[in-house]
Chain A
């Protein structure tokens, strides 16, 4: 028997790591991976709450979050490729203009 609080704390730690990575990372791909980490932390809390309230809709919602994350990854990585093609860098400190 594991208290639900443990699951929520684990999900909070993962989310906090994601936020920290989003703020301190300078490589645009690493920032993107931090976003995925945040999504994973939220998914864990969804599944934990679904188990607590005996509502399967929580697990369905995790499925939808994964679909959105997959779409986001595809579009985001295409944007990263386009940015790299025009600027030849992945450092976001050098990507600070919308237009070249």
Chain B
């Protein structure tokens, strides 16, 4: 029972954050509500037993990535966004279609998987087990992602560097 209550409380917090991201017009408010979403998602991961994923969620997602977002928002001094007019066709058919689709999908999910309730901590994913798997069964993907991150770092430096910086060096 406590499990269900914690799940519902943080699930509601999560959805509230996501809806707030849609409603807010200033990007900084959106970024902060995204932090709320990611923090409450970490609690959901803990409920499922994924301890390592929960820790990484807080450190990498809510920490590093969102700091990057907030940093860029402040660097570019982003103001409130202007809304452009949406099309009437999207309003007429899109919203009812989306409601029908989501009710159908939710019904199918409950019908087909409802008989498998998950206990708290159903699959313990401690850092030790995850690390063992990562460096034995998934060693090649792990190394490939490290190269990917290296390329991303170099790409970010090249893209974000000032175009006049090279010329300034040549002039000197």
Contact = CB atoms under 8 A, between A and B. Distances in A.
Interface in B60-95: 60-61, 64-65, 68-69, 72-73, 75-76, 78, 81-84, 86
B18 A14 contact: yes
A80 B130 CA distance: 35
Given A37-B21, A37-B34, A60 B123 contact: no
A64 B82 contact: no
Contacts of A20: 22
Contact of B15 (A2, A14, A18): A14
A70 B65 contact: yes
A95 interface: no
B168 interface: no
B134 A52 contact: no
A98 interface: no
Given A5-B114, A17-B19, A47-B53, A82 B27 contact: no
Contacts of A6: 7, 11
Interface string A71-100: 111110111111011000011010000000
Contacts of B84: 26, 93
For the complex, would chain A's binding face be called helix, strand, loop or mixed by DSSP majority?
A: helix
Interface in B36-75: 37-38, 41, 44-45, 47-50, 52-53, 56-57, 60-61, 64-65, 68-69, 72-73, 75
Contacts, number: 224
Interface in B115-162: 116-119, 122-123, 125, 129-130, 133-134, 137-138, 141, 145, 148-149, 151-153, 155-160, 162
B69 to A, nearest CB: 6
Interface residues of B, number: 79
Nearest to B51: A59
A59 to B, nearest CB: 4
A85 B45 CA distance: 39
B9 interface: no
Nearest to B47: A2
A71 B125 CA distance: 24
B57 A51 contact: no
A14 B34 contact: no
B30 A47 contact: no
A73 to B, nearest CB: 5
Contact of B152 (A1, A66, A74): A74
Interface string A38-66: 00100110011011101011011011101
Given A33-B34, A47-B44, 5 more contacts: A16-B98, A43-B53, A60-B133, A77-B72, A80-B72
